[in-house]
Structure 1
Amino acid sequence: MPIKNENTLPCIEINPAGTATRSVIWLHGLGADGNDFVPLVPELNLPSNANMRFIFPHAPVIPVTLNNGFEMRAWYDIYGISLTAKIDHPGIKQSIVSIEQLIARETDRGIPVNAIYLAGFSQGAAIALMTGLSHAQPLAGIIALSGYLPSADGLHQRSGAPSLQTPIFLAHGTKDPIVPYALGELTRDMLLKAGYIVEWHSYPMQHSVCAQEVEDISLWLQKTINY
């Protein structure tokens, strides 16, 4: 069901059979849209009492420098995938604001902040991390797949940050040619060094999602749910 108002991104929403008591806001990767991970919901095979609402927002369409300025759905501009590449800080900040609006909408609908998950793939994983780590209250969890932390600014200053209580599921393919595996490892190491709760998984795959990963996400979600 498409969901949109003047203050939030357009979204696809999948509600549980019963009343939703927790929400997952899932961010797609560069050039995709909210439909990309909708088929994942039944594959997670979550118990009915999880009562999870899944929200899949569509990123805005913008020119992407890495793709010769071609316009596509993106959470921020990308100049390159490397440790030294320029970072689109304004674009990242705008996407964080947009996701914060979706979080606020969920709390207005009766979902507690500590029952809201942020998830994402690739560039969506980057925004899920950046939003979750800077959020004023602990979230239920962050799922970051085949992504990276575009900026480590302030991580070393987060010793008392509320987000330190937010569990993080971090996963990456060892053969990823798009977001190098080393960036996933670096992200893991930075988060662990800063004191975050990280469950790390690696898989012999490229820039994709595999069946074992889906199973591991399901197990992690069920482990982190406070029934």
Structure 2
Amino acid sequence: MEPETPDDEFDRKRTSEFYEPFVVDPVKEHKQTFIILHGRGGSGKSFAASFLDHPIAPTQDLGRLSGLLTVRACFPHAKFIFPTACLGRATSYGHLTHQWFDNWSPLIFPEYKEELMIEGLAETSSFVHSLMQAEIDVVGARNVILMGLSQGCAAAIISLLTWQGEPLGAAVGMCGWLPFRKQMLDRGDDGVQENGNGQVGDVENENAVADNEPSQAEAAKLQRIADWLRNELGITGAKSAAVPFKQFPMFLGHGVDDATVLCEFGRLAAQFLKHVGVDARWNEYTGLDHWFSGNMLRDIVLFLDSLEGWEING
């Protein structure tokens, strides 16, 4: 059963004004940049206060780094950028709030009335792209990480799927979901048809070398999805020969007890990304609701530590 549309017709216009991001400068020489998107109703400054100094769960892997028990301490060369979303009237409850896009309630129907998301996701993606490019120009693409929580996670994934610049170092999503997932799955499969042997295959790879067929099929599928999404959001620009998102890893973490964005929707997002060839690493946390935890932060730090050039305290 789908939720009923509210009787009152709310003003859904956004201010289209992004606030000056809250920035935490690096302790040492600037070599890396995190861009981190808050959830709906938050702000860059308030999320920074919660995120940067939250204790990381102890682990033997971090034992060599006595005292480095926060994300900020682990990456002294990193600048942390916390943007604040535009003000908009949330259709689900009618109040003005900071949101990256409008949407219905993600609790039970995250894929319901997705047309509400288009305007905000288009503006947010362009804004995030500008932040990414500015930091790439300073420290290089492989030294930039995009992160997001909840709605910020959803906005980050869409921004990365529509990104046409250099591949970033990695991406991190916490307690989020993937807008337009079903439509993108359909678009990705548009190029798949039955070949002459009665088998299903990608029409763009009929003459491909056998060992390369899976990766080529995934690349073609992701390209169709990205092209459709850019068109849906009205994002213009020269089309890339490859979708940059496929070329770097992503960490997705979600609380099993999340009552705001059910864990199942995060799991579906991870499955989708793996389906199109993105290196998406999925972690679930028992006892965690709609937030991050010391255990999740520990796993994020270890994930980043595994990347070339992102050694802890390096």
The equivalent residue for 1:116 is 144
The equivalent residue for 2:154 is 126
Return the letter of the residue paired with 2:85: A
Q: Identify which range, 182-191 or 36-45, moves more after superposition.
A: 36-45
Return the letter of the residue paired with 1:86: K
| Contact 2:18–2:86 (8 Å) recurs in 1 | no
- Select 2:91's aligned residue among 54, 60, 65: 65
Q: Identify which range, 162-171 or 37-46, moves more after superposition.
A: 37-46
| Contact 2:35–2:147 (8 Å) recurs in 1 | yes
Is 1:145 the counterpart of 2:174? The answer is yes
Return the letter of the residue paired with 1:75: W
TM-score (norm 1): 0.89
Return the letter of the residue paired with 1:176: D
Mark the runs of 5 or more structure 1 residues left unpaired by the alignment: 1-6
SS in 1 for 2:74: coil
Return the letter of the residue paired with 2:32: R
Counterpart-to-counterpart distance in 2, 1:174 and 1:46: 27
The equivalent residue for 1:219 is 302
- Select 1:25's aligned residue among 14, 26, 35: 35
| Contact 1:132–1:139 (8 Å) recurs in 2 | no
Return the letter of the residue paired with 1:146: C
Return the letter of the residue paired with 1:71: L
| Contact 2:111–2:179 (8 Å) recurs in 1 | no
Mark the runs of 5 or more structure 2 residues left unpaired by the alignment: 1-16, 54-69, 189-220, 224-241
Is 1:86 the counterpart of 2:113? The answer is yes
SS in 1 for 2:156: helix
Instruction: Label 1:47 to 1:161 Cα distance change in 2 as closer, same or farther (>3 A).
Output: closer
The sequence identity of aligned pairs, in percent, is: 26
Return the letter of the residue paired with 2:103: I
TM-score (norm 2): 0.65
Q: Identify which range, 152-161 or 21-30, moves more after superposition.
A: 152-161
Q: How many residue pairs get matched? A: 217
The alpha carbon displacement at 1:36 in A equals 3.1
